[in-house]
Structure 1
Amino acid sequence: MKGNPFVRYAAALIAGVLLYVQLPDCLIIPLAALLVGGGLLIWGFARNTGKVVKSIHAAPGIGGLLILLALGWATTYQRTAINQPDNIAHLTDTLRAYEGVVATQPEERAKTFRVELNIRRGKWRSRDADEWQPLSGRVIVYLDKAGSPVPHYGEVWLVAGPPRPIDPPLNPGEFDYKRYLSYRNIYHQQYLRTFGRTVLAIDPPSRITNLATIVNRWADSVFTHQVGTRAEYGLVNAMILGVRDDLDTELYRAYSAAGAVHILSVSGLHVGILFTVMTLLLGLLPKRPRGEIMIAVLKLTILWFYALITGFSPPVLRSAAMFSILIIATASGRQQQLANTLGASAFFILCFDPYALFSAGFQLSYLAVVGIGMWQSALYQSVTFRYKWANWLWKLTAVALVAQLITFPLGVFYFHQFPTYFLLANPIVIGMSELLLPLAMATLAFSWIPYVNDGLGWLLQKTAWLLNYAVTQTGQLPGAAWDGLWLSQAAMMLTYAVIFCGAALLLTRNRTYLWATCTSAILLAGVTIWSDYQQAHQQRLAVHFLPHRTAVSLTNGYHSLLITDLDSNDTRSFDFYLKNTFGQWGVSDLAITNANRNVESADSLQPTSVHHQTRDYALWVWQGKTLLLVNKLNGPNPWRLPAVVDYLIIRRNALREWNQLNGRVVARHIIFDDSNKTPLTDKLLAEAKVSGITCFSVRQMGAYVAELE
């Protein structure tokens, strides 16, 4: 640490960022840190004033770190858009219309274009119709593709109607999309038809970003012409331009199962591969006076040109900044240390964007580089081979081993899966990427030369095909991925404690690390055993939030029955809204039954049975509890139940007036799922509040979860 000052600076800045995120309203701590830090600095300088030999004291260093902590807090405060008084999050009136500019390159989805708008001004319903007021904020707009041309960066839109706040997660374990977007200062979204917006002008907010989008579109046109075939074009577009719109779903799943999905998003890995290939190729040039400076300029040019064609993707910008510092340090003849270089890049990135700290890509990239820098060399040198090709393959395998070891707890924490054949897939993927990336850059560079561009395009297409083939075959192997894994935050931290202490024990043979490793392993085992015990003895009834659908689960131990009307082909909705819930609960046996069909029993959850089912309702008896799903109350069949039911679930707008339940059914708990129309549910909830009726809406309150004894 003594020779790595930027590691300390970055750590102090990170502490300030975390302090703001945890205590955004606690101004006293950063102010105290600033005052104490400034006092220590002044005291340290005063003690050395007039001395020929300057004495070294820890106090000024501590003071500087305290000032950086305050800087981290202040920078995060300043970069948080909701702190601006004119931000859309503070509106109390309803917007009638607003004006915004397209601030990023639009993404094409199956039925919509996803666009991010920077709001400039707005009109309120309660004010004069022609009065515009300053307004700020960023909104995600999903524009219906039917009849809509492709939006472009810099378009100024007049949008009718107000955007709505982004919903928090409404199911246990569901991905917190609201928090994820808040780190990007986005708090609202809106769905628009073509007639809901008008393009007023073209006014790009950034000339550099506008240039990047133009270059990105040009590169896309080159790849479209040179590569041609959809699967290979989709891979090249994803790897080079960061656009995954043309990737086939099955191909994406194959990359995910093979543990190579990271290659489909432009990231630090791509910049690292490009940097490695550039260093190798430029190292073959003859040595000349001032050659280091010329090579450094060439490396920086290629590096930032790649960042340009990706549209200045944030992960690429972070990695380009890190490698730029490395290139400049090498060219200037300064002694460089990986830890200090990483610390410097993290410091400057977080000064510009403090919320990058909470990006999974940022965390995984820095962890991987730290692990490779610390352990890859020792692992690689532990085994040698006679043949160069074998050594090259072992080097790639060592990189994959170390990177996977240090990132797998965080990867499981975020993505809940582990690729079984990563040792087989990653050396192939990295090796092929070292060919594909330079070929893609060469294809762009020589796209204006006839015949040469065709030859490079052919090579690029064949390389992409070979990479797709290798990954697809690996992903189809039996047991290619362990899915549904779940690590709590405590378990993840203890896993990292075992990894780091174990690695330190192997490298130093220090007995202290042995005790630390054993203690961490015992604590991890205790946390895991307690979690397994709770899951084995759980009995739970849940009514989940599923947009415009019914989803009711009955969970007993590791087994669960899901009663739903979700289309079996709609895996996207299940994965986003429900998959993490069952993963968090440790469900290994999930049976699914259709809520609209007559099902006599569910063997996996005995004693579970459908006591009676008609078109109007279904009565389930489970663990001594009665569950009534009502589809219709106003039909020609005036059915009634003689006994009190425990859980009454209203579906498909069955209840329109509360008096429809009179004489038909009495329930201890009444729940509205999201297959009901929201305005109708809101009306019934308001009436229930006045009448003193206790009821629950999953749209307003999130999933209803009942723990059964």
Structure 2
Amino acid sequence: MPLHLHKYPFVRFLVPLILGIYFSHSFLNETECSRIVMGILCLVCGVSFILYHVFKKYTHRWLTGVCIYLLLFTLGAAITELHLSSVHHQWSAEKCVYKAQLTEDPKEKEHSILCPVSVIASQDSAGSHSVDKKVLLYLTKDSASQQLKRGDQLLFYGQINAPRNNGNPEEFDYASYLLHQNISGTAFAYTGNWQLKGHDPHRTLKQTALDYRKMLLKKIKHLGFSGDEYTVLSALVLGYQDELSEDIRESYSISGASHVLSLSGLHIGFLYFLLEFLLSFANKKRGTLIAKQLIIIILLWGFAFLTGLLSPVVRSVIMFSLIALSRIRNNHPVTLNTLAVAALLMLVYNPFYLYDVSFQLSFTAIAGIVIIQPWLDGLVKTENRIVKYVWGLMTVSIAAQIITTPIILYYFSRFSTHFLLTNIIVVPLVSVIMYLAVFTLCIGFISPLQTLLAFLLKESIKFLNGTVSFVEHLPYSSIDHIWLTSADVAVFYLILFLSSLYFISRKRWALFGLLPCIVILITFHAKERYQQQNIRSIIFYNARNCPTVHLIESPETSYLFSAEKDSVHKKLRYATQRFWNKNLANTPQILPSSFRGKSIWKQNDVLYFEGKTICMIKDDSWRNKVSNNPLNIDYLYLCKGYKGKLVWLMPLFNTKKVVIDASLSDYKRKAIEKECKLLGIDYFSISEKGAYKITL
């Protein structure tokens, strides 16, 4: 399919809208400058419009395009600012009493209970204030907090903080993620600092949908599904991933099949084509064709409702609803224009969708199938129906993989080398599982048939899991620890665009654009690699449940000095994985109690590395001890477990700086900070300032 962009006006409209969203989100952030820029853009649009009508000449026709693009850019920036202002809230710097209501059922964490709440009002010394903001409230895990349910109304005493990151190098931007989910803050309330005040039985449409999904999950268990078969089926059909094990997630990720576990465009596409097939008899007349497409749209939205109106499902259903409507007009429903219209509508409704991984993958995958797959399919000419089907399936997978690879590498730092083998088997199998699941859940009034279908469904999922596990254990099944920046992704897509122009539309000039893009990419990464050769440093990570110091000698050699004995890598993975992928060639070595190396020496809780001495205080074993010759310490690292005062350690250590770990409570942290000020000792609070990095 030749690429003639003038035939796809909505694609050209989509680009300035996206640029406006990105510009506002990245650079403006509700400042007065944003309003000034908005005013200037509107002024330019107005001037362009006036000039066009004053000089009504063909040579000035470009002014109309400029005016439209500037308006769309301004629209993108304006709606982004409106959404940001609706989420941001100036929370009190002191602890207050808040009234809140649980909007979802609580989730049990390792040491707490996570309650998504809507804060209704706050009470402080100045009086009562209405709020109406979404907050993630963490409660101490106990029998009372474990009994909470959606709709419960609470009073809690605590401090709500705006979303912020931990400050670890190259970490996932969790603060922005929460803002994109319309979460305005996080808070923690200890036992005794909250109480249940009532229950609101009213439910929103989404809450009602989640209740129906819960009923279907119980139905699946009642049919005899358990273990991995239950969790995989729940993820495939209802988008419920809470009980997926780490082993299953990793297995599907390595084999290149993780996309099937995220209920989105692939699964909605299966249902759409199933409904198209079942209602194909209605294609003969225009009236029945219209009725058929409306029925399909209603059924797709019914399915979205049963999945709890999950955002990825809703977005996919919107897209396929537009495809169904376009099918009424012509026989080529899936076009770039259709995708662009769907994206425009969704981004105008919520510009934060642009930063959602599933949104990016769904639209790029379908765009790749629309643009690249027909060209790939035409490379092999055959009359054999089996060969044609297999080749068509392969080209769909290849096209989707080509165009989504930059995004996958950017977010997941992994490339699955056997993705083609996986998808040739998995994609048809998932379609069978989807169809079997729909019929199994709908045929309850015929019990013997439902039992038979449930058996077939269970065996199909076992075969799916077995296939994925087989591919996972093949040699060289994945390339891990790949690091890309957002600039890399942009250059990769420019290379893909120019390559498509040359191979599909035979635009020879596109070849001349490829060379500078490749040179820029190679130069940038050569510079990055050179800088990584001088990364000798010490990093005190901000990982509340795992106090750790990272001692980096070179990309090949580094060590972890941790207060934890077990599962250190697992506990640090979330905080450090991106940094390790970018800078380290090998996984850091966990130091034993006694160790001596080229530039490092460790004995119990005292460590020497590259001229710096660190002492980790993680218990009270140092208390009630005296020394005639205090030990000279560069960094005194205070962690959870030490219950004494700082002054009690002064007879033992001459320290230059105290590092206060995030594992300490706020009360303990503030007490140590006060002591440091009184003693005139420099200090660094990890929970307040983020990870502490010392370049050597």
TM-score of the aligned structures, taking structure 1 as reference length: 0.88
Letter in 1 for 2:673: L
Structure 2 SS opposite 1:451: helix
* C-alpha spacing 1:121/1:511, structure 2 compared with 1 (3 Å): same
Structure 2 Cα separation of the partners of residues 406 and 137 of structure 1: 38
Structure 1 SS opposite 2:694: strand
Alignment of 1:306-321 (within 5 A): 306-321=303-318
Tell whether the 8 Å contact from 1:112 to 1:142 is kept in structure 2 after alignment.
yes
Residues matched between the structures, number? 684
Structure 1 Cα separation of the partners of residues 444 and 39 of structure 2: 56
Q: 1:376 aligns with which of 373, 377, 401?
A: 373
Q: Tell me the C-alpha RMSD between the 2 structures.
A: 3.0
* C-alpha spacing 1:698/1:587, structure 2 compared with 1 (3 Å): farther
Q: How far is 1:653 from its partner?
A: 5.6
Structure 1 Cα separation of the partners of residues 111 and 679 of structure 2: 43
* C-alpha spacing 1:646/1:158, structure 2 compared with 1 (3 Å): closer
Does residue 622 of structure 1 match 2:609? yes
* C-alpha spacing 1:706/1:93, structure 2 compared with 1 (3 Å): closer
Q: How far is 1:305 from its partner?
A: 1.5
Using the TM superposition, name which of 281-290 and 471-480 deviates more: 281-290
What is the match of residue 599 of structure 2? 607
Structure 1 Cα separation of the partners of residues 377 and 232 of structure 2: 30
Q: How far is 1:174 from its partner?
A: 1.6
Structure 2 Cα separation of the partners of residues 375 and 640 of structure 1: 76
| CA deviation map 1:295-339 (0-9, x unaligned) | 202211221112111111111111111111111111144975611
Structure 2 SS opposite 1:188: strand
Structure 2 Cα separation of the partners of residues 629 and 272 of structure 1: 55
Tell whether the 8 Å contact from 1:633 to 1:655 is kept in structure 2 after alignment.
no
What is the match of residue 513 of structure 2? 516
Structure 2 SS opposite 1:478: coil
What is the match of residue 135 of structure 1? 131
* C-alpha spacing 1:424/1:562, structure 2 compared with 1 (3 Å): same
What is the match of residue 547 of structure 2? 550
What is the match of residue 576 of structure 2? 578
5+ long unaligned stretches in structure 2: none
Q: How far is 1:153 from its partner?
A: 4.6
Tell whether the 8 Å contact from 1:178 to 1:187 is kept in structure 2 after alignment.
no
Letter in 2 for 1:685: E
Tell whether the 8 Å contact from 2:96 to 2:158 is kept in structure 1 after alignment.
yes
What is the match of residue 29 of structure 1? 37
Q: 1:684 aligns with which of 664, 672, 689?
A: 672
Structure 2 Cα separation of the partners of residues 587 and 646 of structure 1: 28
Alignment of 1:184-199 (within 5 A): 184-191=181-188, 196-198=194-196
Structure 2 Cα separation of the partners of residues 352 and 473 of structure 1: 43
Q: How far is 1:629 from its partner?
A: 3.2
Tell whether the 8 Å contact from 2:116 to 2:137 is kept in structure 1 after alignment.
yes
Tell whether the 8 Å contact from 1:397 to 1:427 is kept in structure 2 after alignment.
yes
* C-alpha spacing 1:324/1:151, structure 2 compared with 1 (3 Å): farther
Letter in 1 for 2:486: Q
Q: 1:215 aligns with which of 189, 212, 219?
A: 212
Tell whether the 8 Å contact from 1:138 to 1:188 is kept in structure 2 after alignment.
yes
Q: How far is 1:205 from its partner?
A: 5.8
Q: How far is 1:222 from its partner?
A: 2.3
Tell whether the 8 Å contact from 1:548 to 1:676 is kept in structure 2 after alignment.
no
Using the TM superposition, name which of 184-193 and 16-25 deviates more: 184-193
| CA deviation map 1:534-553 (0-9, x unaligned) | 22332111111221432111
What is the match of residue 472 of structure 2? 475
Q: How far is 1:78 from its partner?
A: 2.4
| CA deviation map 1:67-103 (0-9, x unaligned) | 233222222222235567xx4x343553213133x33
* C-alpha spacing 1:107/1:663, structure 2 compared with 1 (3 Å): closer
Q: 1:201 aligns with which of 199, 206, 214?
A: 199
What is the match of residue 498 of structure 1? 495
Tell whether the 8 Å contact from 1:119 to 1:138 is kept in structure 2 after alignment.
yes
Tell whether the 8 Å contact from 1:117 to 1:139 is kept in structure 2 after alignment.
yes
Structure 2 Cα separation of the partners of residues 217 and 151 of structure 1: 17
What is the match of residue 68 of structure 2? 64
Structure 1 SS opposite 2:184: strand
What is the match of residue 357 of structure 2? 360
TM-score of the aligned structures, taking structure 2 as reference length: 0.90
Structure 2 Cα separation of the partners of residues 157 and 384 of structure 1: 67
Using the TM superposition, name which of 158-167 and 71-80 deviates more: 158-167
* C-alpha spacing 1:637/1:141, structure 2 compared with 1 (3 Å): closer
Letter in 2 for 1:23: L
**Alignment identity in percent?**
24
Q: How far is 1:201 from its partner?
A: 2.7
Structure 2 SS opposite 1:696: strand
Letter in 1 for 2:414: Q
* C-alpha spacing 1:629/1:556, structure 2 compared with 1 (3 Å): same
Tell whether the 8 Å contact from 1:230 to 1:246 is kept in structure 2 after alignment.
no
Tell whether the 8 Å contact from 2:231 to 2:243 is kept in structure 1 after alignment.
yes
Structure 2 Cα separation of the partners of residues 83 and 589 of structure 1: 39
Using the TM superposition, name which of 269-278 and 556-565 deviates more: 269-278
Using the TM superposition, name which of 680-689 and 38-47 deviates more: 38-47
Letter in 1 for 2:445: W
| CA deviation map 1:405-424 (0-9, x unaligned) | 22122111111222222112
Letter in 1 for 2:390: L
Letter in 1 for 2:98: A
Structure 2 Cα separation of the partners of residues 499 and 641 of structure 1: 66
Alignment of 1:260-659 (within 5 A): 260-283=257-280, 287-288=284-285, 290-333=287-330, 338-385=335-382, 387-558=384-555, 559-569=557-567, 572-594=570-592, 598-602=593-597, 606-610=598-602, 613-614=603-604, 617-618=605-606, 620-631=607-618, 634-639=622-627, 644-652=632-640, 654=642, 656-659=644-647
Tell whether the 8 Å contact from 1:307 to 1:317 is kept in structure 2 after alignment.
yes
What is the match of residue 238 of structure 2? 241
Structure 1 Cα separation of the partners of residues 345 and 421 of structure 2: 36
Structure 2 Cα separation of the partners of residues 424 and 484 of structure 1: 22
Structure 1 SS opposite 2:117: strand
Structure 1 Cα separation of the partners of residues 591 and 251 of structure 2: 28
Structure 2 Cα separation of the partners of residues 241 and 199 of structure 1: 33
What is the match of residue 115 of structure 2? 115
| CA deviation map 1:122-160 (0-9, x unaligned) | 322x256xxx43112101134547455665554444445
* C-alpha spacing 1:555/1:506, structure 2 compared with 1 (3 Å): same
Using the TM superposition, name which of 561-570 and 406-415 deviates more: 561-570
Tell whether the 8 Å contact from 1:4 to 1:337 is kept in structure 2 after alignment.
no
Tell whether the 8 Å contact from 2:21 to 2:351 is kept in structure 1 after alignment.
yes
Structure 2 SS opposite 1:135: strand
* C-alpha spacing 1:139/1:369, structure 2 compared with 1 (3 Å): same
Structure 1 SS opposite 2:243: coil
Q: How far is 1:530 from its partner?
A: 1.8
Structure 1 Cα separation of the partners of residues 675 and 599 of structure 2: 37
Tell whether the 8 Å contact from 1:121 to 1:135 is kept in structure 2 after alignment.
yes
Letter in 2 for 1:395: G
* C-alpha spacing 1:352/1:304, structure 2 compared with 1 (3 Å): same
Structure 2 Cα separation of the partners of residues 45 and 91 of structure 1: 53
| CA deviation map 1:653-677 (0-9, x unaligned) | 6584444454533234432333444
Structure 1 Cα separation of the partners of residues 281 and 475 of structure 2: 44
Structure 2 Cα separation of the partners of residues 698 and 411 of structure 1: 32
Structure 1 Cα separation of the partners of residues 393 and 138 of structure 2: 42
Using the TM superposition, name which of 322-331 and 146-155 deviates more: 146-155
Structure 1 SS opposite 2:284: coil
Structure 2 SS opposite 1:171: coil
What is the match of residue 704 of structure 1? 692
| CA deviation map 1:195-241 (0-9, x unaligned) | 734262325463x3243223212322222222523211111111222
Q: How far is 1:353 from its partner?
A: 0.8
Using the TM superposition, name which of 287-296 and 318-327 deviates more: 287-296
Letter in 1 for 2:380: V
